[in-house]
Amino acid sequence: MIENMLGYELVRSNKKQETPLCRTVDEMTAIMKLMPKDVFAAVDMNHIKHPENLIMALGKRLKSVHIADGDGKKECHYFPCSGEGENDWSAILLALKKVGYKGPFMYECAFKDVKDLRACFEGLRCNYSFKLLTNPSKHALKSFTSLKAHSYIKGPL
């Protein structure tokens, strides 16, 4: 499993610039093309601005997600429902739906109570569904109409 990492502004404590790989959509997809087909990708939602673009670029090679909010510039790992961070969770959920992601909604963030994790997931999914209903673009509408009711309400993405 290969995870995308933070971008160019990450600095080590010794003040030298760190140069991790997989910082951008282009870098991640280029590296994944060099890997054997049984090597898959994880998208850390806190490590990149607009993670939905990376999700779409990875497609079926996406096998895991790290759920956290941030600004894509530094390690934040905010709880997605904390109101901090800049992620568009409806766009992220739509991208996960489009690539057929079936893996866990795996949080990698600070939280107060474990019960908040499920409530947050349900809230994000509710917002996503509401946006699709009230502001359907052609793509979103197509995705929504192909969604099965049971998986829409109870199941995984």
Which one of 6, 22, 44, 76 is in contact with Zn ion (CB under 5 A)?
44
* Location of structure tokens 């870098």: 27
Among 66, 77, 97, 131, binds Zn ion (CB under 5 A): 66
> C-beta of 5: minimal distance to Zn ion in Å?
9
Tell me if 47 sits within 8 A of 74, measured CB to CB.
no
Q: How far apart are CB 3 and Zn ion at their closest, in Å?
A: 5
Q: Which stretch binds Zn ion (CB under 5 A): 38-46, 118-126, 127-135, 143-151?
A: 38-46
| Torsion sign, CA atoms 50, 53, 58, 59 | positive
Task: Quickly tell me which residue has 């049971």 as its tokens.
Answer: 150
Rounded (10°) CA dihedral 101, 106, 111, 116 = 60
- Shortest distance, CB of residue 44 to Zn ion, whole angstroms? 4
Q: State the nearest-atom distance from the C-beta of 108 to Zn ion, in Å.
A: 5
Tokens at 92, concatenated: 């992220």
Residues that bind Zn ion (CB under 5 A): 44, 66, 108
